[in-house]
Structure 1
């Protein structure tokens, strides 16, 4: 019984950290010193390959 509770707790914590990591803002620093803050993960442009 205790092992099942431990496994369930670890899986729940892992899921929460995964969701929290995906939803956080990202800061992209450019070569000219500017910082661009995105809402979530930056999207890559398929045509140019740039963020």
Structure 2
């Protein structure tokens, strides 16, 4: 079984999640902007 290397360090993950949390808790953002932020965070975590 091949070992998969992590593309994101812990600090990268913290920054990605902090950015997403900021958008999610911002009441001025629309639902579509929040969904886009979720998709962006997901892709950044998966693809580094």
**TM bucket by the smaller chain?**
0.3 to 0.5
TM-score by length of 1: 0.37
Structure with a larger share of its residues in strand: 1
Greater RCO, CA 8 A, separation 6+: 2
Structure with a larger share of its residues in helix: 2
TM-score by length of 2: 0.39
Largest Rg, 1 or 2: 1
